[in-house]
Homo-oligomer: A and B are copies of this chain.
Amino acid sequence: MADMPHRPPTMRDVAALAGVSRSLVSTVFRGVPGASETTRARVLSAAAELGYRPDARARSLRSRTSRQIGITLTAVHPFHVEVTEALHEDADLHGYQLALSWTTKARSLRQAVEMLLDQRCSAIIHIGPTGSESDLARLFDLAPDVPTIVVDRYLELASVDTLRVDDTAGLMLAVGHLVGLGHTDIWYVDGAEYVSATPRRSGYLSAMAAFDLGQATRVLPSGGTRADGAATALALIDDGALPTAIVAYNDQVAFGVLDVFSRHGVRVPQDVSVVGFDNVPEAALPHLDLTTVEQHADRLAFATSEVVRARLDGAPPRGLQLLPPGPLIVRSSTAPRRT
């Protein structure tokens, strides 16, 4: 595989055309003082004429600073996509780049990390990484000196920073809203092994207990996808027993529930109120209009990028950091309990 037939112009070419030394070209392109206005203009116009762009590899190699932050994610979780998009904006603002590395059925987190490491990223952010805590610890140990930040997952690892929205508090918002509407039969559609399923489940249980509804709890096994929610709703309808309100592990699951309910004549919110979690963009669509717990992807991203910069400046990892859940977004999927 032969690469790059005709090589792109280098600093040397620009210097020759502008009639200056290579150092001056470097000075101009780094935007540091030390070049007169006239030379700066000459260099810039020579570069434009040649279509010159500094080689990031050489730059990073020599300057020992890549200004690249690695990101691992699955690319299928809407909330994670939102977070990553917001991270891009923060990166832009602070003059660094994001190197994206996907995990798929065929590409392990380890492969994703190794690619990032080989490129000598300055730090790595893992968004919703799956796998056991010990597997992850082993993975992070591949390069103990590269600051590691984990987003949207609980981890008891002192060597990394972990950022999460407080799920337990979020569930309290959801349950509290339904209780305020007069509901007592509030069931929870569980996220099984999905990211942060455990804290959300226990958030539901403790919220119910706090409202003295501890004996009315019911956790329905499900999953994290629309298909999971649909399957659970179908099972519910087959059983013939419905609560007056449902809290779903996340918006996707809630959508699945809504889909099946509407196809089986169960009216939302007249018959059953439904609450989600995440407030993904789709939740605002007129025909879904889902009451849900906001997670503020942009705030999470902002806090993450602050931590990254602190770590890059040499600060030690601070362990787990919990962000308050956004407000509950009340839409038309919830209503007072039918009397």
Chain A residues proximal to chain B, CB less than 8 Å: 1-8, 51, 53-58, 60-61, 64-67, 75-76, 81, 84-85, 88-89, 92, 96-97, 99-102, 104-107, 114-115, 117-120, 122, 142-143, 145-146, 226-227, 230-231, 234, 256, 259-260, 262-263, 282, 285-288, 309, 312-314
Q: Are A287 and B263 in contact (CB under 8 A)?
A: yes
List the B side residues contacting A1 at CB < 8 Å. 65, 67, 96, 122, 309, 312-313
Q: What chain B residues lie within 8 Å of A282 (beta carbons)?
A: 226-227
Q: Give the nearest-CB partner of A71 in chain B.
A: B100
Residue numbers in B under 8 Å from A101 (CB-CB): 100
A53–B118 CB distance below 8 A:
yes
CB distance from A51 to the nearest CB of B (A): 7
- Cβ-defined partner of A288 (8 Å) among B2, B51, B75, B259: B259
Q: Is the CB of B287 within 8 A of A260?
A: yes
Contact yes or no, B57 A145, CB < 8 A: no
CA distance A115 to B100 in the complex (A): 12
- In the complex, what residues of B have CB within 8 A of residue A54's CB? 118
Residues of B within 8 A of A117 (CB): 53
Across the interface, do A84 and B56 meet the contact criterion of CB distance under 8 Å?
Answer: no
Chain B residues within 8 Å of A107, by CB: 85, 88-89, 92
CB-based contact A51/B100 at 8 Å: no
